[in-house]
Copies of this chain bind each other. A is one copy, B any other.
Amino acid sequence: MYKKINEKDLEYLRKITSQDRVFSKDEIESDYTHDELGTVKAIPEVHVKVINKEEVIEIMKYAHKEVIPVTVRGAGTGLVGACVPVSGGILLDLSKMTQFIELDKENLTLTVEPGVLLLDIYEYVEKEGLFYAPDPGEKTATIGGNIACNAGGMRAVKYGVTRDWVRGLEVVLANGDLIHLGGKVVKNSTGYDLKDLIIGSEGTLAIVVSATLKLIPKPKRLTSLLVPFETLEQAIEVAPKLMVDHVIPTGLEIFEKTSIKSSEEFLGKKIPNGNYEAYLLLSYDGSNDQALEEDIEIASKLCVEKYGAIDAFLVDTEERKGNIWTVRGGFLEAIKASTTEMDECDVVLPRSNILEFLNYTKEVSKNLKMRIPYFGHIGDGNLHIYLCKDDIEQKKYDELKQKGFDLLYKKAYELGGLVSGEHGIGYAKREYLEKMTEKPHLELMKSIKKVFDPKGILNPNKVV
């Protein structure tokens, strides 16, 4: 169906880009054959590093004419294989498109190319006293990648997800047409919302070549409360209750002993007051000291007096903050380092149903005799659950993993959840999107894919 790339194609790609940015065969580095999780692997026929939208347009025109698959890649920090060129063809690498196009202080927007890293955005806007709120764990991801999977992160309870911070997109369509969606405007009721359709579509509908992000003034202070509980169940139960009490933090994370210990060992760092069974980490941000203190006081009091927390430690020094967030940041790496292979489940649930789901996860772990560690953004019901191979034999592991995912996703849907909170569907979770989605709903998605990409060249075999 797809055309295989030959020497003439390579020559053309070199002509419209540059000699030294087109790689084929042995020149392709192994880093570009997988993503962060590494379970999905494929070698592209050609790896092209582009530096501007004009190159993207020319490549898409050519790929469309010749029917060559194009898989877009940013920093490759995804976990579902979305950037892996499973159908071969062109790996379109946007990581060199790193221009900061415009900071507009009157409209509070920042326009950037897709290859800009999240950590560089933070630094750039914070110097100006401004703030881009989405806070995914992986700061070396590109903004293009964040838009592709609608990344969430640790401030979603208060600030929402990437989608909520994208005002406008410039995208290249499958045939090379360039269109503009949204803009710097705050409101928009001008026809169908294609901007939000592109966000989260993981490179299967169009290629983002610039994004206009919403900014707000940077909150002057961020304070956290580390709240230990005697049992994990207690900690989990408190999260939705805090909402009923109208104590809404910026972020609300859960830490349990096993995750903490393994991250501490992995990093050689320790969190303060770190010997309890489970913790909630509540963070609050704002610009008024008194208001912030009031929030913290109410939250501490509620946790200890009403919900039986052992204590509530103010995380007020830079050192304490640093240690805690470093250990939190090490959860994934530590789990990865602890096992021979793993796959992940990024379910999202109504937060009131998390305890039931996690209890079920434990049951599954016990029944399958498989280690299933997890951590999660408990404030927004998004859990990251890891099915670990450890020393299970490969064939057996593949079977157990399949069974485990089947059980977990089924339970998630029974509890009002969905397949993915923030990592996307990519290649790895296609089967579960297909299984769990109502048929007419799925058919609509497939038809929309055809509308945008009739020849099926954009990131084939991903999402739907």
B105 touches A190 (CB 8 A): no
Residues of B within 8 A of A205 (CB): 192
B197 touches A106 (CB 8 A): no
Residues of B within 8 A of A119 (CB): none
B-contacting residues, A242-287, CB 8 Å: 243-244, 246, 248, 286-287
Closest to A423 in B: B189
Instruction: Given A157-B186, A186-B351, A438-B179, check contact A191 B244 (CB 8 Å).
Output: no
Residues of B within 8 A of A437 (CB): 190-191
Q: Mark A438-456, 1 if CB is under 8 A from B, else 0.
A: 1011101101110110000
Residues of B within 8 A of A377 (CB): 187
Could you tell me the distance between the alpha carbons of A422 and B189 in the complex, rounded to whole angstroms?
A: 5
A244 touches B105 (CB 8 A): yes
Asked if A163 CB lies within 8 Å of chain B CBs, one says yes
A243 touches B105 (CB 8 A): yes
Residues of B within 8 A of A380 (CB): 185-187
Could you tell me the distance between the alpha carbons of A381 and B179 in the complex, rounded to whole angstroms?
A: 22
- Among A52-60, A221-229, A288-296, the stretch that binds chain B is A288-296
What's the nearest-Cβ distance from chain B to residue A29, in Å? 28
Closest to A421 in B: B187
Q: How many copies does the complex hold?
A: 2
A187 touches B451 (CB 8 A): no
B-contacting residues, A17-44, CB 8 Å: none
Closest to A433 in B: B191
Asked if A330 CB lies within 8 Å of chain B CBs, one says no
Asked if A149 CB lies within 8 Å of chain B CBs, one says yes
Could you tell me the distance between the alpha carbons of A288 and B288 in the complex, rounded to whole angstroms?
A: 9
B-contacting residues, A346-383, CB 8 Å: 346, 348-352, 377, 379-382
Asked if A329 CB lies within 8 Å of chain B CBs, one says no
Asked if A173 CB lies within 8 Å of chain B CBs, one says yes
Of B164, B189, B346, B464, the contact of A420 (CB 8 Å cutoff):
B189
B105 touches A185 (CB 8 A): no
A352 touches B416 (CB 8 A): no
Given contacts A161-B187, A288-B294, 17 further A-B contacts (CB under 8 A): A105-B243, A108-B243, A150-B193, A151-B189, A152-B189, A179-B441, A183-B417, A183-B418, A185-B348, A186-B381, A186-B382, A187-B348, A189-B200, A191-B419, A192-B201, A216-B248, A290-B290
